[in-house]
Structures are given as C-alpha cells and as structure tokens.
Structure 1
Amino acid sequence: MNHQGKDIILIVDDQPINLKILLSFLQEQDFELRILQSGVQALALLQETIPDIILLDVMMPELDGFETCRRIKADERLVDIPIIFMTALDTVEDKVTGFKAGGVDYITKPFQQTEVLIRINTHINLRKKALKLKETQEELLLQKNKLEALINSIPDPIYIKDVDNKYIGCNRAFEETAGKPEQEIIGRGDHAVFSSKVAASFRVKDQEMLAFGEAKRTEELIIAPNGEKLFFDIRKTPYIGPDGNLLGLIGIFRNINELKRAQQEAEEERERLSVTLQSIGDGVITTDVHGKTVFINRAAEKLTGWKNADAVGKDSDEIFRIFEEKTGEKAPSPVVRVLRAGKRLALSRDAVLHPKGGTKMSIADSGAPIRDRENQVIGVVVIFRDITQEKKMEQERVKMRKLESVGVLAGGIAHDFNNLLSAILGNIELASSGVTKDSKISALLADAQKATERATKLTYQLLTFSKGGEPIKEKTSLPDLVSESANFVLHGSLVSCEFSFAEDLWMIYADSGQMSQVIQNIILNAKDAMPNGGRIRVECSNVKDLASGLLLRRHKGNFVRITLQDTGVGIPRDIIDSIFDPYFTTKKEGNGLGLAICHSIIKKHGGHITVHSESQQGTIFSIYLPALPAPKSKETEPQDQEKMVSSTKIMVMDDDLMLRNLARSQLAALGHDAVLVKDGAEAISTYQEMQESDSPIDLVILDLTIPGGMGGKETAQKLLQLDPEAKLIVASGYSNDPVMAGYNEYGFRAAVAKPFTLKELRKAIAAAH
C-alpha cells in the first residue's frame, strides 16, 4: 500500500473506449492511475509496483481476467490486493468464477460513475483496515510475549482465584508446585489441585481473606507431588476490578524451605554451642553491642554469683565487676575496650573479680568481637578464669608464665567461639531479617504485586495467547466441558440454560481451557443481553462433510457444531460485522477482547464461528470444530523411559554460591557426588587435574552465562579439546538461548533449563549418558 502518496489504482482493459470512460471521472479524483491493456503487462508491472486496488477486465485476449487474477493471488506479496472485475457478463456462474479466482467485487458495463467510485473507495478502505488490524494483532502478540515472560520469569508461584475460590490463573512456578499444568488448574478448586489436607487449609484461609477483603500473610506447609514437604511464606491480597468490586484474590508464594532449614540448623547449632559452652571450665560471657548481657555459662555463673536467667539483659559491668589488683580502682570495661579496638584483646593481667555475694578472686580474662557474615560486629565474648590459687602458689615469674599461658589459651578459645558465635548469630539474624525485615525482598514482591494487579484483567482476557498462542490440544468430550462452562457463568443469575447433546456426539481434539473460555465469553454476553432474565439453549451435534454446505466451502471434513441461542435483545445490523474485531465493544466496562479471543481460539483449532441475530429476537452463535469420529477411548500415556544411571562424579559450574550448594544437595539426593566450581577457568583446571587422578569426572553441568568469566559455551569447547568424549550438560535460565535449543551443535549431550526439578535433572543426566 502507498502510505506516503495517493492511492494507486491499476486499470487493466484492452478496450480504449472503456479506459476513456473510466479516466473521464477517475482522473478528477485523488488517485494515482496506472493504465495497462493486458494481463501479461499487469503481471510484469506488479513485480515492481504494488497498487492499492486493481480494476481488471474479464474478456481480454491472450490472458483473460480470471486467469490473471489467479496468478496475482498466487503471489504472497499481492494476495491481499483487492481486485474488482469489469465485465458485461453478469451471470451467477461468471460471478462465482470471479470470486473463486480471488476477486472481491464486480462492476458491470456500462459503468455507473457513482457506483464505481463507491466500490473503489470501499475496498481500498477495507484493505487499509485489514492491514491496520494485522499491525494491531502483531503488537498484541508482542505485548503478550512480554507479559508472559514477566509472569513466568517470577520464580515465586503466583495464583489468582475468583470469589468462588476457583483458580482463574497461575504462573509456571505454581504449575510446578502443584504438579499440574495450568489447564488442569483453571476453573477448579483446591481439592482438585492439592491433597485434601492442604486443600482444606487453603480454602479456609482464602475464604477468610475474601470475607474481610484485606491482604494477609501466612506461612503454610504444602506436600509436593513427590512427597517433599515445602514451606511457603504466602502473601494474599484482594483482586479488585476496575469498578472497585472484589473479584477474588491473588496469592504469591515464597519458598522458605531454606530459611526453615537454616533456622533449624541454627537452633541445633546454638543448642550444641550452649552445651559446649556449659561444659567449659572457664567463665564465658557474651554481650550485644550495647554491653547488655546475652548469655553466661555455668562456670561464669559460679564465678560471678549470677544466674544466667537473672543476668540476661543487664549491663555486663554489673555482672562482671572487675577492679585493678594494685590500686583497687574499677578496671575499664572489657566489653567497651573490645568494641573500640574491634579485635581480640587480652584484657587484664592483674584484675580482681568482685562476685555477687562471694569472695574476691584474681582472674585472667580476654575478649573478642562477635561478627556476623558481613563482618559487622554484633557483640562481644569475654572468657575468664579464677587464677587466685596459682598466684599464691607460684613465684612471680612462674605466675607470669601461667598468666601468659592462660592468656594464649583464652585468646584461642575466644577466637574459636567467636567464629562459632559469628556463624550461629549471623545465620539467626539473616534468617530472621529474611522473614520480617528484608526490605529488598519486600520491595520486589510489592513491585511484582502491583504489576500483577495492573495486568490481571488483560492477562485473563489474553489467556489464549499464553505459551506462544498455540492451544495445547488433547482428545476432548464436549458435553461436560460445555455444560460446566455455561453453568459457571450463569450461577446465581436470572437466566436459565437448557442443553441438548447428540447421543453419538463425536469427540474433538482441543484445548479444554481455551474452549471453556469461548463458551464462557459467549454465555456471558448472552446473559448481559438479558438483564431481566431469559433463556439460553445450547446444542451440540455432528455435521458430516461440511464442505457440501453453502456456509463454509473452505472447510472440509466432519465437524461438531455448538449452537448457542439466547432470547436477548439481539445485535444491531450495523455492528454485527464488527463484533469479532479487537477492542470493539458496546459495554461501558468492556475492553472488546472477548469475542475477538473467541474467534482467535476457534481459528487456531481449525474451526469457524458464525453469528446470526435479529433485533429483539435474540442471537445465535454457531461454532464448527473438526471432529474425531473414532469412538471414545482412554488413551494411555507412554511412560518416560529413563535409563538408570549409577552413582557418578559430576562437576557443576555456576557463579552463584547458593546454586552450587543447591546442586550439591540435588545431586546427593540422586545418589551422585558433586564437584563445585565457579567459572570456566576453574572448571577446566579441575577437570584436567581429576582426569589424571584415580577419581575422574564422569559428567559436567555448565551454566551458560558466567558474568565476568568464561561461560558454558566457551568452557564446553575447551573441555572437548581436552577430552573429546567429555559428557556435557548445558544449564541456563534463558530457555530461549540458541545454545539451549540446539545444544547438540555445541557439543552438549543434554540441556536443562533453570529452575529445574530433581526429575528434570535426573532425566538430563540419563540423556547425557
């Protein structure tokens, strides 16, 4: 189409008199005219110029108009150019021949100026609209892909429910958690997705949230399909429609298994530490950064005269009261000295401890800062012992040696306990902050939640475009699907629905989730057309050899027809041709996508949808879907054939420490030994070193992307140079990377996309062998 200048009209006629008549009034219009006198000339011109419309004479020598039209329509570049035949032939047979050849209209000679102009402008405008629609559809597809990537890239499971506690949407992470594909989740309740115990818990808590309409946060346990116990931090928020009404709820899961495990390990480690500290003969006092007592062991209780329960929370100077032996003056606080120095100190060589209600004693003490994993000081540990008898029994020189020895010992113990306390307290703090104080996680979840709320309405309407837009088909029986979808929409309304299904109704090959959406959209429109109540009749029947009918000549074979007829107000004639156009709507709160999506779904299923309506007489939608005439049978799905792989030594390359540790645990669960490396350079050196040892690497899993380092693709090439028989698996979070799609071309034997399950990992390992 000529987007920058005038609309181009190509006129092909071998009769000068006809050309003269057309030019007499077309030259006065705002068109650019191209005049040719044969079909051969027209075909040659079309190789260089693409007009906006063609006026084509039927009766021409050498190549008539019908054949010229057929050849034009055979060219993909020209197929959408409207062709209007000009002829004195006006029989039905001639017109049918022209339309079959690809023409869109007829102009009968002699020409009527007004008629010719109207037909030309009509078809040029229709073509412009068709091209605009195509551009809009391409833009929708692009936006759909972005939206799908956003939702499915979120690693946390996300689900959406309606006010009846039925699932209406979820992301891929939720599918993995539930162990079911989306089409087996949508439209169902919790008992159809999870175990009865988990489902009951979900339903009660979701109903409670829906009842109050307030966001909630809970911690729940889910038993995965493989029997694994999964702890989730679940945030639930109301799903509010554009009109402010509550439409359901949105739930976002955060897997806290690692947090729970860390808490448990931290608690166990703290218990072990407590037992160890209680078993030590020296007194041990720990404080926070403010000098408040956190813990004292039994030895410290005996030496200070304080019980741990009474000492906790009190200032350490009140518990550990030390004075200078020679002057009798109060000694500087060991906690303050360590905090100022920021390092381990032998605090005093001539300190005297004044215990609560006891006898003064000479002590040797030392202190050290307690640091978390980020090397921040979070407290102090003070270790001391009673050296009164030692000082009395030995000479000054021996006493000094003893004190020095005690100081060294105390320093070593302080260092060891400092490391232990740093790890334990660091884990506790990080674990606690991960649940209640981690602003980064909260911010990320908040952003994801806001984006989800804004996109929820569009997401639901564009379900048909998810996963690339293609339906996931399976053998489907229509009666249950149709009746359940219709009844779901009409529940609680004034509209009744009656069903009629042929006893021998054929099955279809379809995506049940998408087909349910078609039925619901049409039923919903019918209900809206009957605000005061009415009746809908749904009928399913078999249609043999559809090509024999006049309605759909381009469809061949056996079809199942779904007819949906209502008693509503009907569709006005002036808009009925536009109802399947995207964004066309007569509803104040509609977005015009419902019937457009229905049309798209039916088309992707190889079917067709028609509509007939009379004002105030109701509307009839007829859906034709290709039938499977074979008798209903329950097909058995082939079981995955995985060869068993015995225990092997597997090297895992990943720049993320957490993921490396996770890989170690996963491989251990599968009975394999893991060797962990962080980048390509380390992978190559480690592989070469172990291949020369008695314990070679059997298999290598390479992360495709290593920021700032050698990634999986380059590493694979170098490993294969070292060992052409190396067994390699590529792993990546970018499933659309060319290497993942054609891994064999890069030397890999298998590929696994992150995040992956144990089953997927086991399958990849088996494939690599």
Structure 2
Amino acid sequence: MKIKTKLYLITAVLAVALVGEILLTMNLLTIPMQRTDIVKKAWQYAYSLQEVAPMLNQDQMQQLVSDMVDRDPQLSYLLVLDRDGKAIVHSEPNRIGMIFNDAGTLSCTRYEKSLQQIYTRDSDQTASSHRGEKTIDILIPNYDKEGNHIGAINIGISMEYLSQMANRHYLVFFISGAVLLLIFYLATQKLYRDIISPLNETVDAIRRMKSGNYDEINIEERQDELGVLACEFNSMASRIAELMADLKEAHEELENRVKQRTTELAAEKERLDVTLSSIGEGVVSIGLDGIIVLSNEALAKIVGVNSSYLLGRKMLDVLQIPIGEVDFNKQMIKRDTVIELSNHRIITQDGGERLVDAIGSPIQNAAGDVEGMVWVIRDITEKQRFEEELIKAAKLESLGILAGGLAHDFNNLLTVIAGNISLARMMSEETDGSGEFLHEAEKATLQARDLAQQLLTFSRGGETIRKTVSTTSFLRNSVNFALSGSNVSCEFIIPEQLWNVEIDEGRISQVLNNLVINAIQSMPDGGTIRISAQNVDINNPNENIPVTAGKYVMLSIADQGTGIPEKYYSRIFDPYFTTKENGSGLGLATSKAIIHQHGGYLTYNSRVGKGTVFYVYLPASQQDYENKDAIPIQPVKGQGRILIMEDESVRRILKDMLVSLGYEVDTATDGKELIELYRNALQSDKKYTVVIMDSTVRGSLGRSEVVQSLLSLDPGAILIGSSGYSTEFISYHEMGYAAFIAKPYGIKDLSKVLQNLL
C-alpha cells in the first residue's frame, strides 16, 4: 500500500477518532454536565424557596413560583405541598388542591426526606396535555417560621427540555463534523505535498547508505524536521542503548512493586482470616457454581467438621437445603436475591441435630455483576432450648398456682371435717365410747393436711422460708409424695436419733423429688429405692466433701438402675445436659444449686449395670423441732364476743366450735359487712373481743383494706388471720394481725390460740 493511501487512511481514522471523541465527550461530559448544572440549579431554587417560604403568605408564594417557572423554561412545574401531599401552591393554578400521594412524595412531606426521582406526569389523566411527560422530580422538606415540618417543596425539570438541548448539541456536532472532515481532507493533500515527497527522497538516501554509497547522498537541505532526520540517524543507536538501560531499571522497579503488593495482599488475607475466625457466627462464601471457596471455624463447629473439610463442598450439601441445584443457582445470580432460612434443622457429621438461622446475599463486583454469594449462619439451638425451658417454667408456675388453690380449698374442707370431729369427740367423751374412733378420724385429717402442705410447698415457687423440721418425717413425706403412682417400692433406713435440719421445705422437697424421679426413671421395669439417713460429724473437710466443719445429716437415695457411664461423670451437673429423650437437663443442676444455698453438698457414686447413689449433706440444726401436730388434751373454754368472716363452708362449723367453747358469735359474709358490724358494736358499747377473718375477703374490699379499716376504728382490735396457705401469714404481725391459725384446725387448736391471746 502506498504512503499516500496510508496517509489518507490515517487521516480518515484520526478524523473518525476525533469525531468519536467529541461525540463521546458530548455524551459523557458536556450534556451530562449541563444536565447536572440544570438539576443543581433546580436544587438551588428549591433551597432558596425553602428559605423564603416561611416569610411569605400563600398568595405571595403563588406569585413567586409562577414568576420563577415563567422566567426559566427549564422548569416544568413548581409547587408547595402540605404533609398529606396536597398542593397548596402550584405554578399551574388549576392544579392547586390536587393530591400527590406516591411513596416518594409522602416520604418527604411526612418524614422530612429530600429526594430526586424520575416522575411521569398525569399517568392516570387521559385528558391532560402533560400525560406521560417525564420529569426530574426534586423534593425537599418545607418548614414554617418556628422550624416545624409542614410539608415539602417540589420542583420538576422537563426531560423533554433536556432532550431538546441534547438534540441542539448533536446538530452542532454534525455540522462541525462535516466541516472538520473537509479540513482534514485539505490538510492531507497539503501534507502529501510537503512531507511525502521529501520523505521519499530521504528513503532513497538511506537505501544508498545501506549499499555503502555515501557519496551519492544529496538530500536537499530543509529548514524543518526532515532536514534534521539525517543528523538524528547516527545518534539513534546510542539512544536505543540508553532506552534499554532505562527499561531494565523500570523492570526492576516493577518487580519490587509486585513483591510489595504481594506482601500487602498476604497481610490483608491474614487479617481477613483472623476476622472470620473471631466472628461467633458461621460465615461462608461460595461461587456461582455453589462451591464453598471460603469459610470460618464457627461454621465448621456448627456442622461438626474441620474447616478444611468444607472447602470445595457444595453449599446445598452443607446446609442441607431442600431445593434443587438448578433452582438454587438461578436464585443466586439475581442481584437482589436474599435467601433466608429460619429455624432450619441440619444433621451434623456426628449424627446430632442443630437448629440454625441462615441468610445468603449476593456478592457483586465493581460492574454490578454477581460473582457468588456470602452466607451467615447462626446457631440458635441453645436459644431455642432456653425459650422452650421458659415455656415449661411458665407452665410449671401455672400448675403451682393451681396446686395452691386446690390446697387452699382442700384445707377449708378439712377444717369443716376436723371441726365437726372435734365437736363430736367432745360430746362422745361424755356419752359413749366412740371417742377412740373419732380420735383416729382426727389423725387422718392431720395426715390429709400433710398432703395439702405438700401441694402448698410445690406451689410456693421462689419463696425462701427456712425452719427447723424433723428430718425423719420430712424425708418420709417427701419421698412418699414423689413415689405416688410409680411401680417402684421404697425401703427406709433411718436411725431413731436423727438430727433435725433447718431448711426451706419447698426447695429441699424439690431436690428429693428430682432425685427420686431420676431413680424411678432409671428402673422402667420397677425395683426398690433405698432411702437412708445418718448423722455425720465432719471435722476435716476435703475436696471430696467441700463443706465447712460441723454437724451434718447425710441423706442417700440408691437405685437399682442402669448407672451413669463414666464419660458423663464431669457433665451430669451441667445445665441443659441430659441423656433422656425428653429431659430438660436442669433437674440435677438446680438440685446442686439449692443444696449449695443451704450450706450443704450434693455428690454421687455410680456403676454401670449396678445403679447410682446420690448423697445429700445438710447442716444439722441446733434447735429442737416443735411438733405442731400434737393435739391438746382438753380444749379450754372462755367467754367474750367474737366476730368471724369465713367461707360459707367453714363459717357454720367455726361458729359451732366457738359457741361450744362459751363465746358469743356473730358472722359476716364479706369485708364491708364485717366493718359495719364492728362499727355498730363499738357504738353500742358491745365491743367484740376477737375478730377471726379468712385471708380471702369477698366483696369490693381487699384484705389489707379491711384490716386497716378495723384498726382505724379500734387501734386495740384483736385480729386473728386464718388461711389454707400456711405460708401466707409468715409476717402476720406486720400485716396487723395478733395471731394466725392455719387450716385445717380443730376445736383444740382454736382454743389454744384464743387462750394465748386472752
């Protein structure tokens, strides 16, 4: 190809490149910059209007926006909206009152958000001349003089105006391009005459030099670059050598930079690894093929494998997601895809189950293309277990409240039975020999009272009430209560002179109940539980029995079950550890904590196939046990007026017992009647000697209100409280009562309380 042809081609390419560059500059810089300037000016209009708006009334504001739109053809509309999106000022007055309630507009009018959006005008108004017109919509909050948010200022820039502006630019460009091409053509012709001809002479001279014919070189001297060409030819070789040296130096510098960057990348990777290993939740990154390329130790721990095992595995297999691989990959390549799994159950490598929440989000490169997905997996197994235990605890609390209510009603009935038996026994001792039979019936009511007390102890919940108890009686009653309804027998080995203990009966009953139930469950085919107790004097405590020196009562519960495997020895007292399918894992942990609170110690000894023995050490009490079940030999009669308020089932028998003891008795059905009777008695100088009232006060007045009302009428009033909840009146003196009598009670218990007060 001739140089002339090449020159034309080069000129044409340069022309096309220049034209393309100008076009590209127009599209990427000039037009966008002008568009940006127009939008920026619109924002400035909006902020200027925001500043002056609080100082103008509506008419002035209407005039201002109309003038602004008339002066500036770039503005399509300008309006002021209230908080509901209603136009109160509009550059087109016929649109005042229109409601603009799209989500973007309301986010500004109501929530003070500024935004810029593309808005299509009157899309729902077929008759509008602006229907379908695209605008750049700008919204900023509007405030009153006090700075209160009252709506928004809305400015629209016509996209059609921007298109017309771009078209004008393109017209100028095409005209300029045609002129430019003509100039390039003329310039090419000039270049050929001024450059190509002299260059051909230079090429001929070089060829002669190559053939060694230096004498025939006769290049016309010129006062331009071609005249210098011959002089520069000889220096070219030395220049090439210099360039090679520079190239080598540049190569070495490039290698150093590569090494430095490699070191920096290694440091960044190390920081990433440390960060991932420090995160408590599982993190994993996968490619578009669903293969794991990066994971942390937390995920490996959740799945139950080594972290190196996960690399190269499919995410679907690791999370065990019930979705096809094709569907999974289709979802993953979407930019806005977020895959969430809640309460998802996975099977670990060791066969265990874990409950997890997982969320997957796409990984996008700088161009916005999806390259993979990152997953965050949270193990919620323990959280779920804790929530289930809270539900169980709530159910147990409700059951305790029910048990307490049943025990209260049961004690009321027992009071009626015990009272009638007491009266019948008093009469029989004077008339016939049936007193022995009635004595046995009275003992049975006391045994029934113990059963009711067990229910109350179960229902008492978190209260801590310690008192000295007979270890023998307490141990027998608690164990027999726990064994009710089981197929397991019990053998007691208890010495006669067993020391008493000072304990919270409810909590220690819970411990014995847990231990006995564990023993029962270890013998599904039945068997015998051996319960033994003995006095222990610990002078030299050691690590096997870490208690303070002193006297203790040691209780042991031995079963004939399967025993505890040695691998579980260090974990049986851990919270939530259990080998039972439906166990909570809290029984032994709670029991150990309760015994520790009492200053004691809980330990065990077990052999697989032989059974397990649990040992409970409790500090012995130095106080004597007061046997409140002892029945007085003979009730003591008295005199005086007594006012009672009791349940209907108890009221009649209580009155009969008091009358038989020699007292005058009046009854009240509720707190209001009780106060009225007491007030009338004071006014008639027939003051009541004693008031006996149940803890449950019927009517609109509560127990404390009734007590305070009686004491305000008569500060010297003697009040006796009565309740089926034996723990309800622990601090009865602070509640305003002089004494308390627990249900069920007989005539002799009643006589004793009255004689102690009177």
TM-score, normalised relative to structure 1: 0.34
- In terms of fraction of residues, the more helix-rich structure is 2
Q: Which has the higher contact order (CA 8 A, sep 6+)?
A: 2
Q: Which has the greater radius of gyration?
A: 2
